Amino acid sequence: MATSKPSVVAYLESPIYEHLVEFKNTHHLRSLSQAVEVILDEYFGGEPAFSSTHSVTQPTLTLAERVDRLSANYEFLNQSIFNLQQMLLTLTASSSSSAIASLGNHPSSSKKCNQSPSDCTKDSSSEQLKDLRSGLTGTDLALRLKVCLSTLSRRRSKSSFQSWSRYQDPDDIAWTYSKDARYRPLNLETISQEPIEIIGERDPEQ
């Protein structure tokens, strides 16, 4: 390509040449001559060889490259959220186990279970049903159903949520999502009745 600029021919030592190549690649320049021009321009304090430094150090990305970067960032964030949910479920399970163990060692608990085994079981079941009637948070219900919190949130708006939650529940209890942002049981009085029939295995999204 013809140009009115004067030309200069130089013979460089290998280390200097390697530094020049590195400078060119780092700043995403088109050629070694362009790299020499930028270096000399900066050394002599002249006007920038380009309209902005940003165009030298950060080349413009194509639309496809931007989409790829956004997709990668989305996948990373999605995985991070899933990992946090799993950690939260694990911590909740650990806290619940500790609380149950503490109650088991409580004097009042020991005193109460001096009764007959059937009476102790009846009292325990009554307390459990009372707790369930007050509703569960999303985290607590996800732990009970052994599913991810994101799966529970996605399912709750579907018409099949009650039958799905009942199938997932260890005590065959159907659940519904209430306006106060809690999940409430629907069939506590019929827990011992026949379970519903659903073709297929339990939801794999756990």
pLDDT, one tens digit per residue, over 169-191 is: 998 899 999 888 889 998 765 54
- The mean per-residue pLDDT over the stretch 132-161 comes to 88
- What's the CA gap between 194 and 177, in Å, rounded? 23
DSSP-derived 3-state class of residue 136: strand
Do 153 and 138 form a contact (C-beta atoms < 8 A)?
yes
Structure-block tokens of residue 133 = 């009637």
Under the banding of pLDDT at 50, 70 and 90, the label for residue 196 is very low
Which one-letter DSSP state was computed for residue 206?
-
Do 169 and 175 form a contact (C-beta atoms < 8 A)?
yes
Structure-block tokens of residue 61 = 């990305």
- Which residues, listed in sequence order, are joined to residue 176 by a DSSP beta bridge? 184
CA dihedral in degrees (110, 112, 98, 178; nearest 10)?
180
Per-residue pLDDT at 105 = 62
Question: Tell me, what amino acid is at 186?
Answer: L
Residues in the chain: 206
pTM of the model: 0.35
Q: Give the position of tokens 């019929």.
A: 190
Which residue has better confidence, 189 or 70?
70
